[in-house]
Chains A and B, each alone.
Chain A
Amino acid sequence: MNPQLSRRRFIKTVIASSVAAASHNSFPVAKAHHVGDGYVDRLITIIVNGKKRRVDVMPQETLAYTLRYKLGLTGTKIGCNRGECGACTVLIDDVTNYSCSTLTHSVRTRNVTTVEGVQSDDGSLHPVQQAFVDELSPQCGFCTPGQVMSAVALLRENPNPTREEARQALSGNICRCGAYDHYLNGVMRAAGQRS
């Protein structure tokens, strides 16, 4: 999905994809439902931050739940658990998604990137992360992983955004501290437009 999509279209897309997936015959939710708990299909492989992870997933399990509670990737935060705040934003095949509103079974063959997966292999911070540090973008920090992921997705799609484009791209991420201005400063710094 284009990270410049509006929040409304974004949410509609998430809902539509869930409906489409649920109606698909081979979807593991339906299968698991018929055979009951413990059926082998619950044990699936997902690709998170470039690594294959074997995980036992309930039919109704959200990606946020799997990441946090099964894989210990607690950088992904659950702020609302209903697709309103964006604290749980991850990338699925480079596209921002609310992981609280994504079923884990629907991402089996796709690449999931969380905030833990954006640093370089040598451990250095991603330019977005470094810029957020330099601009003192986070306040309480609870929304920050989601802001990082939305900004990373934006710059992959559009390495040279205007401030307004950045504002639109991050608009699905609520920050109760009101640090929007400093997050946008961070995005523009990461894009090389601010020093």
Chain B
Amino acid sequence: MNNYKHIGKDFVPPDIVGKVTGKAKYAEDFRRDGMVFARLLTSPMAHGRVTRIDTSAVDGMEGLVGIITADDVPATEAPIAPMLTNEPVYIGDPILAVAAENETIAEDAIARIKVDIEPMSFVTDPLDSLVEGGPDAREEGNVYSRSREGSGFRTVKWTAEQVDEFRAGKEPTGEFVNEWSYGDLEKGFADAEVILEEPFVTIGYAHMSMEPRTAMAYWENGTCYVYGSAQSQSFWIPGLARLLDVEQDKVVLISENTGGGFGSKIGAYPMAALPGWFSKKIGRPVQLRITREQEYYVGSARVGFQGWIKLGFAKNGRVTAADVYIVEDIGPNATGGDGSSAGGAVSLVYDPLAMRFRGLPVMTNTTPRGAQRGPGQNQIAAVMAPLMDKAAHLLNIDNLEIRKVNAVHSGTTVYADQEPVTSAYMKEALEMGAEMFEWETRRALPRRNGNKVRGLGIGQGYHSAGTNGFDGLVRITPDGKIHLHSGVGNLGTYSYASTTRAAAEVLKCDWEDCVIHRGSTEENLPWSSYQAGSVSIFTHTRANYVAAMDALDKMKAIAADTLGGAPDDYDIDGNRIFLASNPAQGMSYAAIAARAIHLGGAYSGKIYPDDIHEVTQRAVQNLAGSGLIGVAKDNLKREGVIPGLAVAFTEIELDLETGKYDIVDYVGIAECGTVVHPLGLATQMKGGAVWGMGMAGLERHVYDPQNGLPANVGYHQCRIPTYLDTPSEIRTAAVDLPDPQNPFGARGIGEPAMGCSVAAVTAAITDALEGHTFNRTPVSPDMIVNHVAGLEQSFKPLQTNNF
């Protein structure tokens, strides 16, 4: 354990009282004088071309204020999603919006407007597009390739035989567009004692954040004020300015609370900018309320996989070779990139001696995809765990042992370029989990009780968990308060607050003397990260650290200048700076702040470093002269991959007659370096566990292939896990070993928290069914019943959109 004052200690985040009292404001809770209500008209067709928009039925309609169409907003270059379109590429694609004095009038107007759409070919399953003669999701092609060499549309077709062989579990022989590899794959398989070769499917599904992405906007003196639902805060500014076609200093984002993001609200998205355009057109503040159904459409979804994997194992369980081929469903806007990330996760978590990844991103006319909590890493975690157990069984090794043999450690090199990791303690995490879960004891217990059978599973999750180069900003004012400016968004992890505790730690101040500024551009916030990919904790404890160190250096310089001696003669504690040799001689933080204002220059922010981002520069300019300013860009050392790791142990009780299973116990272990916020970490580990349980057994897209209609636009059909789908208690712990590239040793965890869960559950299902691998998520009860009864499944191999 460390001796930190704030790091590793629980605290009450300042926004939480607002959340339990209802006072916390989300985008839809804001009002503005003269505000009108906008609603969307979305495409009823999966793919088509708007030929006529007839608004004659609403001409002169009382209370109707305006209509905005694709002709009023900037067009985008395909495949980038525009705000409004005349060429919808999925059901739910926004075509126009109306604004009215109230929502009822807006809805009535939407119902009366007639839109003629010429239907075009569409596809809902990538393999249906891939086969010769199959429809393409877009006129430009059916594949969109992103690579180091460039990006672009392609048309890729396989013969019917090639598709059939892929479905039959054979190595795909059709064209692919992405590839990377390392090591000698042939030798790896030649050296293997056991080789597994399996097809797999992971169905995509909607993010379904609790808060639909409502936004409100108005213009004042040429500046657009946007009240949005944002996963990050400062990071939104450049993108939002681009979408609104204004300079960055002409946009203000207010996002005090965000009702969940999970990857779907990383940067500014089209629906956040549409009210700004609408407001400009009609001269009134506009709130665009997004319904639950529309959130399903425009709120993003996980990429689906149809793949093939070949794994070689040595006698001791070591993975000698991994060959991964993934056809990924990237929706109509070619968003995703999960496939290669999945390959990367195989490389890091199982450290194969040789590896190849091949990928083919195929478009479909389903809802747009995007990063969703462990995009790629978590799908492949679900696939890999049962296969590891299958290999362990064939090699007569324990399921825990095979994971320990391959466990990533601080000396492991990963990915195509075989980069180092900053640190990794997977083996320690596995051992901690095994002890808490009593793995060995449970393995020896009876497995069958009537129709019920127990299954045990171990899961491993990974996502890279940190980045660098963002700014920190702290300010000490003459009243002695320490102002922690956080450009981190408030999406529910409390990282906007927990990362600022790094600055409080450096300044050795009491938390009660700290004031966090956040939630609005006008709070003068530093340039901050995208807050995806589990980066916030590593990245922003560093940024707060460098800002606080800058403040500390300035305090010492001022003290030396005022009281004599050299800066290094001074120490701090108790909101005072004093001579280390004579603590009585010193100054309070309040006095130092007053002196900084008097001295000006860099002390009070009149001068600032050249390398800080323009967002931070504007913040400092606004704050200059109000106190002692600590501001810096994070230029600390950062080399190699920063891994966030987690493991889970679970026990399920599976009913062989109904196919239903209950998760009766779950232990999750975080391996994320030093723990910064214990309760926050626990909630992330448990929330991630719930997400994994949803992916393993519940959530999936279902589209009607005949009409392209989505079958589950609401919460009920989406099957978001509820209280009753998840264990009443989830146990968690952390390895808590520091990472050398963070001043406090911290790394991120949000996504691995889910990957370990989905992997543990799929492994437990396999264990309960005596080694049967479905190689598919979600595993639904009908699949289990069919398997137990020896019946064929109701879908053909690799098929998506199965009921």
Q: Which residues of A contact B (CB under 8 A)?
A: 7, 58, 68-69, 73-82, 84-85, 87, 114-116, 119, 125, 128-129, 132-133, 135-145, 148, 163-164, 167-168, 170-171, 173-182, 184
Contact = CB atoms under 8 A, between A and B. Distances in A.
Contact of A142 (B211, B291, B292, B714): B211
Nearest to B715: A84
Contact of A80 (B292, B689, B690, B729): B292
Interface in B726-763: 726-730
Contacts of B635: none
A7 B722 CA distance: 11
Contacts, number: 169
Contact of A74 (B29, B261, B492, B727): B29
Interface string B5-43: 000001011011111111111101100000000000000
Contacts of A140: 209-211, 257-261, 491-492
Nearest to A6: B724
Contacts of B679: 135-136
> 4 closest pairs, A vs B, by CB?
A75-B22, A178-B690, A142-B259, A140-B492
B210 A87 contact: yes
Nearest to B19: A141
A164 B714 CA distance: 27
A175 B723 CA distance: 8
Contacts of A167: 723-724, 728
B232 to A, nearest CB: 14
Contact of A141 (B24, B208, B722): B24
A137 B291 CA distance: 26
A76 to B, nearest CB: 7
A163 B17 contact: no
B260 A182 contact: no
Contacts of B21: 75, 115-116, 119, 125, 129
A179 B210 contact: no
25 contacts: A73-B22, A74-B28, A75-B21, A75-B23, A82-B292, A84-B716, A85-B292, A125-B17, A136-B10, A136-B16, A136-B494, A136-B680, A139-B492, A140-B260, A143-B210, A148-B22, A168-B724, A170-B723, A171-B724, A176-B208, A178-B721, A180-B690, A180-B723, A180-B728, A184-B728
Nearest to B690: A178
A63 B436 CA distance: 48
Contacts of B575: none
Contacts of B23: 75, 116
Given A58-B104, A76-B22, A178 B210 contact: no
Nearest to A85: B715
Interface string B52-83: 00000000000000000000000000000000
A82 B19 CA distance: 23
B661 interface: no
A163 B729 contact: yes
Contacts of B494: 136
A187 to B, nearest CB: 11
Contact of A139 (B26, B493, B728): B493
A114 B21 CA distance: 10
Given A136-B494, A167-B723, 16 more contacts: A74-B22, A77-B259, A79-B210, A115-B20, A119-B21, A138-B20, A140-B259, A140-B492, A141-B24, A142-B210, A142-B211, A144-B20, A168-B724, A176-B208, A180-B723, A182-B686
Interface in B249-263: 257-262
A137 B680 CA distance: 10
Nearest to A142: B259
Which residue, of A68, A132, A175, has the highest number of chain B Cβ atoms within 10 A?
A: A175
Given A84-B715, A133-B12, A178-B687, A77 B20 contact: no
A173 B16 CA distance: 19
Contacts of A164: 728
B643 interface: no
Contacts of B492: 138-141, 177
B688 interface: yes
Contacts of B13: 136
Contact of B17 (A77, A133, A171, A179): A133
A128 B494 CA distance: 20
B689 A178 contact: yes
B691 interface: yes
A69 B35 CA distance: 12
B255 to A, nearest CB: 12
A174 B689 CA distance: 15
Contacts of A181: 686, 726-730
A177 B723 contact: no
Contacts of A128: 20
Nearest to B13: A136
Contact of A179 (B18, B291, B687): B687
Contacts of B24: 141
Contacts of B720: 174, 176
Nearest to B687: A178
A164 B722 CA distance: 14
B588 interface: no
A176 B719 CA distance: 11
B7 to A, nearest CB: 17
B683 interface: yes
A82 B295 CA distance: 14
Contacts of B729: 163, 181, 184
A40 B243 CA distance: 46
A79 B292 contact: yes
A7 B723 CA distance: 11
B246 to A, nearest CB: 29
Nearest to B754: A178
Nearest to A162: B728
Contacts of B259: 77, 79, 140-142
